[in-house]
Amino acid sequence: MTDRSADPTTDLGTDLAAVAAGLDAEDPLAGYRDRFLPADGVVAYLDGNSLGRPLRATAERMERFVRADWGTRLIRGWDEGWVDRPRSLGDRIGAAALGAAPGQVVVADSTTVLLYKLARAAVDHQAAAGRREIVVDTDNFPTDRYVLEGIAAERGAVLRWITTDPASGVTPEQVAAAVGPDTALVLLSHVAYRSGFLADAPAITRTAHDAGALVLWDLSHSVGSVPVRLDAWGADLAVGCGYKYLNGGPGAPAFGYLAARHTTTLRQPITGWFGHRAPFAMGPGHEPAPDVRALLSGTPPVLASVPLECGVELLEQAGIDAVRAKSVRLTGFALDLADTLLAPHGVTVASPRDPDRRGGHVTLRREDLAQVNARLWERGVIPDFRAPDGIRIGLAPLSTSFAEVLAGMTALAEEVAR
């Protein structure tokens, strides 16, 4: 069972429904569930760490934006706020979720594109000092690894791999052993996409800086679920997506963080017109903006940012610390249910038991879980599968109830007992 001295959940008795009902009755965030659109036929949605559910306000705001903001203001909308939207919405994400002071976050592009921009800028800057190594771990999300492989090929850099146990994640000690005088950049995920392992970001950032390296944090599985303190960590760069816990919808714009101290020294490689010092001057030659706007390239995705804005507003109202407190209880409850209902059928836990090292999802393992996951989807229970043998239970605190977790885990127990 989980360690309740660090992760206090209610002791499980024989009446699991009563336990779940009690936890929901005590949940200060329970009322937020009504802010989301219902999903017909879905018994339990356990994949909020991949795609958040849509808010009722999102459908209303999108219609209003199309009919009023876009439909009546037309091109005048650019002068009435659209131009500043990447930075203004970025500042709100920075304040609500990232621990970032204003002027360091923009909303633009996809996670992959922003990751490329930031990583290339860091590698190019560090090359002037003769640093050619990029540190990354073997279990990082595929796009992170693929982007770095491409940058290494472009710039003649060398990838230095940290071999990671998917159930534990990257430690400061591993980073210390990997960095040195040739290290240009360390790129890691704050919460591991496979296991949910929560890295010790402050310690890792200090370790990299002591070696003279820059650090780029992928916050895709953190933002909106786990408090992030980029400024306090002394982070250099960060990136993350808007469609998981921020509920921005499929393919929502990403965000990029560039610490203020780097805005005039790091230069991203895709020099489009919106990152120009004066984009509407239409002048010859690219002059980068003197602030975080330099991360922008093309016309910002204004329409696509409307759902993301709704999600950020909800997070502002709830508060990231309250969200994290519920996340710990949700994942602790899921682990207790796994021990009670699933362990007798050979299902093992591949996520940290310590809540201080656990993000917002729990991964369970058995060799046949791909087939089990498919059957669960047919029953209206929606977790997701990650090869080779893991089901992730992704619990979004603002939209997930304890009763929903119990319903999903009970269905999973029935399927693994077949």
The residues carrying an active-site annotation are 141, 218, 243-244, 392
CB 255 within 8 A of CB 90: yes
- Listing DSSP states for 350-386 in one string gives -S-SSGGGB-SEEEEE-TTHHHHHHHHHHTTEE-EEE
CB 39 within 8 A of CB 53: yes
Half-sphere exposure of 391 (CA within 13 A, CB side): 29
d(CA 100, CA 269): 24
d(CA 30, CA 33): 6
**Within 10 Å of residue 304's Cβ, how many Cβ atoms?**
16
> What is the phi-psi region of residue 346: left when phi exceeds 0, alpha when psi lies from -120 to 50, beta otherwise?
left
For residue 154, what is the enclosing H or E element?
A: helix 142-155
Provide CB contacts within 8 A for 358, sequence distance 6+.
Answer: 196, 197, 198, 328, 331, 351, 352
Using CB atoms within 10 Å of the CB of residue 198, give its burial: 0 to 12 exposed, 13 to 18 middle, 19+ buried: buried
Residue 165: phi, psi to the nearest 5?
-80, 115
